[in-house]
Amino acid sequence: MSIASQATDRVIIFDTTLRDGEQSPGATLNAEEKLAIAHQLALLGVDVIEAGFAVSSPGDFQAVKTIAEQVGKADGPIICSLARATRKDIQAAAEALQPAAHPRIHTMISTSDIHLQYQLKKSRSEVLAIAQEMVAYAKSFVDDVEFSPMDASRTDPEFLYQVLETAIASGATTINIPDTVGYCTPKEIGILIQGIRENVPHIDSVILSIHTQNDLGLATANALAAIEHGVRQVECTINGIGERAGNAALEEIVMALQVRKHYFNPYFGRSVNSDVPLTNIKTQEIYKTSSLVSQLTGMLIQPNKAIVGANAFAHESGIHQDGIIKHRQTYEIMEAASIGLPENRIVLGKHSGRNAFRTRLKELGFELSEADLNKAFNRFKEVADKKKEISDWDIEALVRDETQNQVESGFQLEHVQVICGDCTCPTATITVVTPDGKILTDASVGTGPVDAVYQAINHLVQIPNQLIEFSVQSVTGGIDALGTVTIRLAYQDRIFSGQASDTDIVVAAAYAHLNALNRLYRYLQTQKIPAQVSE
Ligand SMILES: CC(=O)SCCNC(=O)CCNC(=O)[C@H](O)C(C)(C)COP(=O)(O)OP(=O)(O)OC[C@H]1O[C@@H](n2cnc3c(N)ncnc32)[C@H](O)[C@@H]1OP(=O)(O)O
Ligand SMILES: CC(C)C(=O)C(=O)O
Ligand SMILES: [Mg+2]
> Do residues 432 and 461 make contact, with C-beta atoms less than 8 angstroms apart?
yes
ipTM of the complex as predicted? 0.97
Q: Whose alpha carbon is nearest atom 6 of ligand 2?
A: 180
Angle formed at CA 166 by CA 68 and CA 23, multiple of 5 degrees: 40
Percent of the chain exceeding pLDDT 90 equals 64
The bound ligand whose nearest atom lies closest to the alpha carbon of 108 is 1
Q: Enter the pTM of the model.
A: 0.80
440-453: b or e for each residue (b if 16 or more CB lie within 10 Å)? Answer: bebebebeebbbbb
Answer with the residue of higher pLDDT: 421 or 91: 91
Residue 180 CA, closest ligand 1 atom number: 1
At 524 the pLDDT is 87
Q: Distance between CA atoms of 38 and 259, rounded to whole angstroms?
A: 26
Determine which of 47-51, 296-300, 361-365 has the lowest per-residue pLDDT on average. Answer: 361-365
Read off the pLDDT of residues 244-253 as tens digits, 9 standing for 90 and up. Answer: 999 999 999 9
- For a ligand 1 pocket test, name from 18, 29, 84, 154 the mutation site with the most ligand atoms within 8 angstroms of its C-beta: 84
At 477 the pLDDT is 63
Query: What is the whole-number distance in angstroms between the Cα of residue 459 and the centre of ligand 3?
Result: 41
Residue 23 CA, closest ligand 2 atom number: 5
Q: Distance between CA atoms of 481 and 468, rounded to whole angstroms?
A: 25
At 220 the pLDDT is 98
Read off the pLDDT of residues 377-413 as tens digits, 9 standing for 90 and up. Answer: 888 888 888 776 677 777 877 887 776 655 556 899 9
Read off the pLDDT of residues 201-222 as tens digits, 9 standing for 90 and up. Answer: 999 999 999 999 999 999 999 9
55 pocket-lining for ligand 1 (C-beta < 6 Å)? yes
Read off the pLDDT of residues 481-490 as tens digits, 9 standing for 90 and up. Answer: 778 898 888 8
360 sits in which H/E element: helix 354-363
Residue 178 CA, closest ligand 2 atom number: 7
180 pocket-lining for ligand 1 (C-beta < 6 Å)? yes
Answer with the residue of higher pLDDT: 21 or 502: 21
Residue 176 CA, closest ligand 2 atom number: 3
Query: What is the whole-number distance in angstroms between the Cα of residue 52 and the centre of ligand 2?
Result: 12
Q: Distance between CA atoms of 389 and 403, rounded to whole angstroms?
A: 22
Is the predicted pLDDT of residue 322 greater than 80, yes or no?
no
Q: At 344, is the pLDDT very low, low, confident or very high (cuts 50, 70, 90)?
A: very low
Q: Which residues contact ligand 2 via a Cβ below 6 A?
A: 20, 82, 108, 148, 150, 176, 178, 180, 211, 213
Sequential DSSP letters for 208-255: EEEEEB-TTS-HHHHHHHHHHTT--EEEEBGGG--STT-B-BHHHHHH
413 sits in which H/E element: strand 412-419
Q: Whose alpha carbon is nearest atom 29 of ligand 1?
A: 119
181 pocket-lining for ligand 1 (C-beta < 6 Å)? no
> Do residues 409 and 522 make contact, with C-beta atoms less than 8 angstroms apart?
yes
Read off the pLDDT of residues 11-69 as tens digits, 9 standing for 90 and up. Answer: 999 999 999 999 987 787 888 889 999 999 999 999 999 999 999 999 999 999 999 99
Read off the pLDDT of residues 115-164 as tens digits, 9 standing for 90 and up. Answer: 999 999 999 999 999 999 999 999 999 999 999 999 999 999 999 999 99
Is the predicted pLDDT of residue 430 greater than 90, yes or no?
yes
Determine which of 117-126, 268-277, 416-425, 454-463 has the lowest per-residue pLDDT on average. Answer: 416-425
Is the predicted pLDDT of residue 343 greater than 70, yes or no?
no
